[in-house]
Amino acid sequence: MKRIAVLLSVLIAIGCSGSETSNGLIAQSVLLERLGDGDAPLVLDVRTSGEYERGHVPSAVNIPYQQVGARLSELGEVNGRDIVVYCEAGPRAQRAEATLRAAGFERLYHLEGDMAAWRRSQMPVEMPH
């Protein structure tokens, strides 16, 4: 069973690592591994600031989904870099992704299961300093 999980993670990583335009999912384990890389993606938490302060994916940047369009200039330097978007359960992240796509961002990924699944999987959670 562990071999299957490892193989699946590798296949997902291969699928998520290309430079092609994507609207795909990124597995939690793949994101966690990539956060340690020199070429880590920008992780965008589109929940409210209160939700973010109660814990978020390590190194995530918080821009609430309804502010993404107005704050695109904060993301200008990352165009051409992978962006992983998440919220608590999915709908707000999908709205933020649509805004980003319309603004020309192409390397977008959605964190599989969003923050709820990240916590359930007991992945590391960062608190603001």
Give how far the C-alpha of residue 49 lies from the chain's centroid of Cα atoms, to the nearest Å: 16
Q: What is the pLDDT of residue 79?
A: 66
Q: Which residues contact 21 (CB under 8 A, 6 or more apart)?
A: 106, 107
Domain spanning 2-120: which superfamily?
Answer: Rhodanese-like domain (3.40.250.10)
- Give the predicted TM-score (pTM) of the model: 0.80
Active site residue ranges: 87
* Model confidence pLDDT, tens digit, residues 44-55: 999 999 999 999
3-state class of 62 per DSSP?
strand
Q: What is the rounded average pLDDT of the residues 20-32?
A: 78
Report the sign of the C-alpha dihedral through residues 90, 77, 24, 53, in that order: negative
* Model confidence pLDDT, tens digit, residues 73-86: 988 777 678 999 99
Task: Give me the residue spans of the domains in the chain.
Answer: 2-120
- Least confident range of 60-64, 94-98, 125-129: 125-129
Please state, in angstroms and rounded to a whole number, the distance separating the CA atoms of residues 9 and 65.
28
Q: What is the rounded average pLDDT of the residues 64-77?
A: 91
Please state, in angstroms and rounded to a whole number, the distance separating the CA atoms of residues 112 and 118.
8
